[in-house]
Amino acid sequence: MAYPFQNIEPKWQKYWADNKTFRAVEDESVPKEKRRYILDMFPYPSGAGLHVGHPEGYTATDIYSRFLRMNGYNVLHPMGYDAFGLPAENYAIKTGTHPAETTFKNIAHFTEQIKALGFSYDWDREIKTCTPDYYKWTQWIFLQLYKKGLAYEAETPINWCPSCMTGLANEEVKEGHCDRCGAQVTHKVIRQWILKITAYADRLIEDLDGLDWPESVKAMQRNWIGRSEGAEVDFAIADKDGKATGDKLTVYTTRCDTLFGATYMVVSPEHPLIEKLTTAEQKAAVEKYREDAAKKSDLERTDLAKTKTGVFSGSYAINPVNGKAIPIWVADYVLISYGTGAIMAVPAHDTRDWEFAKKFNLPIIEVLKSEVDVQKEAWTADGIHVNSEFLDGLNKKDAIAKMLEFLEERKIGKKAVNYKLRDWVFSRQRYWGEPIPLVHCPCCGTVPVPEEQLPLELPAVKSYQPTGTGESPLAGIESWVNCKCPKCGGDARRETNTMPQWAGSCWYYLRYIDPSNELSFCDSKKESYWMPVDLYVGGAEHAVLHLLYARFWHKVLYDCGVVSTKEPFQRLINQGMITSFAYQRKTKSLVAVDAVTEKDGKFFANDDGEELERVVAKMSKSLKNVVNPDEMIKTYGADSVRMYEMFMGPLTVSKPWNTQGLIGVNRFLDKIWNLSERPMSDIDITGKLDKDLASLRKTYAKTVKKVTEDTANLDFNVAISQMMIFINEASKFDSIPKAMWEGFVLLLSPYAPHLGEELWQKLGHDTSLAYEKYPVFSEDYCKDDTKEFPVMINGKLRAKFEAAADTDSATLEAMAKETDGFKKFTDGKTVAKIIVVPGKLVNVVVK
Ligand code: ANZ
Ligand code: ZN
Ligand nearest to the CA of 493: 2
**Does 770 fall in a domain?**
yes
**Phi and psi at residue 820, to the nearest 5°:** -60, -40
Q: Domain with 365 in it: what CATH number? A: 3.90.740.10
341 and 273 housed in the same domain? yes
Q: Domain with 798 in it: what CATH number? A: 3.10.20.590
Single out the residue in 466, 494, 522 at which a domain terminates: 494
**Does 83 fall in a domain?**
no
Find the 436 Cα to ligand 2 centroid distance in Å: 17
235 and 309 housed in the same domain? yes
Note the pLDDT of residue 47: 87
**Does 135 fall in a domain?**
no
Q: Which residue owns the Cα nearest ligand 1 atom 26?
A: 253
User: Distance (Å, rounded) from C-alpha 737 to C-alpha 700?
Assistant: 11
User: Distance (Å, rounded) from C-alpha 541 to C-alpha 617?
Assistant: 17
603 and 684 housed in the same domain? no
Single out the residue in 471, 494, 517 at which a domain terminates: 494
**Does 175 fall in a domain?**
yes
147 and 291 housed in the same domain? no
CA distances from 585 to 369, 471, 611 (A): 53, 50, 7
Enclosing H/E stretch for 308 = none
> 291: Cβ–Cβ under 8 A, 6 or more apart, which residues?
none
Note the pLDDT of residue 346: 98
Note the pLDDT of residue 425: 87
**Does 766 fall in a domain?**
yes
User: Distance (Å, rounded) from C-alpha 204 to C-alpha 168?
Assistant: 28
CA distances from 378 to 301, 319, 366 (A): 21, 21, 9
195 and 322 housed in the same domain? no
796 and 773 housed in the same domain? no
| pTM, two decimal places | 0.87
Find the 518 Cα to ligand 2 centroid distance in Å: 28
682 and 795 housed in the same domain? no
Q: Domain with 706 in it: what CATH number? A: 1.10.730.10
Question: CB 367: neighbour CB atoms within 10 A?
Answer: 25
Ligand nearest to the CA of 368: 1
The pick from 229, 235, 253, 300 for probing ligand 1's pocket by mutation, whose C-beta has the most ligand atoms within 8 angstroms, reads 253
Note the pLDDT of residue 386: 97
In 3D, which of 452, 455, 439 has the Cα closest to residue 492? Answer: 439
Burial (CB count <10 Å: 0-12, 13-18, 19+), residue 226:
middle
| Structural domain of 743 | 662-782
Pocket lining: 344 vs ligand 1, CB cutoff 6 Å: yes
Residue 411 contacts residue 420 (beta carbons within 8 Å): no
CA distances from 1 to 665, 670, 734, 843 (A): 15, 7, 16, 55
In 3D, which of 714, 711, 709 has the Cα closest to residue 575? Answer: 714
**Does 70 fall in a domain?**
no
Pocket lining: 350 vs ligand 1, CB cutoff 6 Å: yes
Find the 519 Cα to ligand 2 centroid distance in Å: 27
Residue 634 contacts residue 642 (beta carbons within 8 Å): no
Which sign does the torsion angle of CA 836, 842, 843, 847 carry? positive
Note the pLDDT of residue 298: 65
Find out whether 621 is annotated in a ligand binding site.
Answer: yes
Number of domain units in the chain? 5
**Does 455 fall in a domain?**
yes
CA distances from 172 to 107, 158, 161, 289, 549 (A): 23, 12, 10, 29, 20
834 and 790 housed in the same domain? yes
**What helix, strand, coil percent values describe the chain, rounded to 5?**
40, 20, 40
Note the pLDDT of residue 140: 98
Burial (CB count <10 Å: 0-12, 13-18, 19+), residue 490:
exposed
Pocket lining: 258 vs ligand 1, CB cutoff 6 Å: yes
Residue 343 contacts residue 252 (beta carbons within 8 Å): yes
Note the pLDDT of residue 807: 86
User: Distance (Å, rounded) from C-alpha 114 to C-alpha 795?
Assistant: 73
DSSP string for residues in 31-47: -GGGEEEEEEPPPP--T
Pocket lining: 253 vs ligand 1, CB cutoff 6 Å: yes
329 and 399 housed in the same domain? yes
Residue 473 contacts residue 465 (beta carbons within 8 Å): yes
Pocket lining: 421 vs ligand 1, CB cutoff 6 Å: no
276 and 386 housed in the same domain? yes
In 3D, which of 193, 74, 180 has the Cα closest to residue 143? Answer: 193
User: Distance (Å, rounded) from C-alpha 493 to C-alpha 496?
Assistant: 9
User: Distance (Å, rounded) from C-alpha 496 to C-alpha 479?
Assistant: 12
Q: For residue 753, is the peptide bond before it cis, meaning its omega torsion is within 30 degrees of 0?
A: no
**Does 723 fall in a domain?**
yes
CA distances from 694 to 6, 557, 688, 738, 745 (A): 36, 59, 8, 15, 20
CA distances from 775 to 51, 64, 641, 744 (A): 34, 15, 25, 8
Single out the residue in 569, 597, 625 at which a domain terminates: 625
Pocket lining: 335 vs ligand 1, CB cutoff 6 Å: yes
373 and 254 housed in the same domain? yes
Q: How far apart are the first and last CA of the chain?
A: 68
DSSP class of 793: E
User: Distance (Å, rounded) from C-alpha 474 to C-alpha 138?
Assistant: 19
Rg (CA), the chain: 36
Note the pLDDT of residue 419: 94
742 and 838 housed in the same domain? no
Mean pLDDT of each 10-residue bin along the chain, 847 residues long: 94 98 97 98 92 96 98 98 88 87 94 97 98 98 98 87 76 77 84 94 98 96 95 92 88 97 97 95 96 76 77 96 95 92 97 96 97 96 95 96 97 95 88 96 96 95 77 89 96 95 96 97 97 96 91 98 98 96 92 91 92 91 89 97 98 95 97 95 89 92 96 98 98 95 98 98 96 91 80 94 86 94 93 93 94
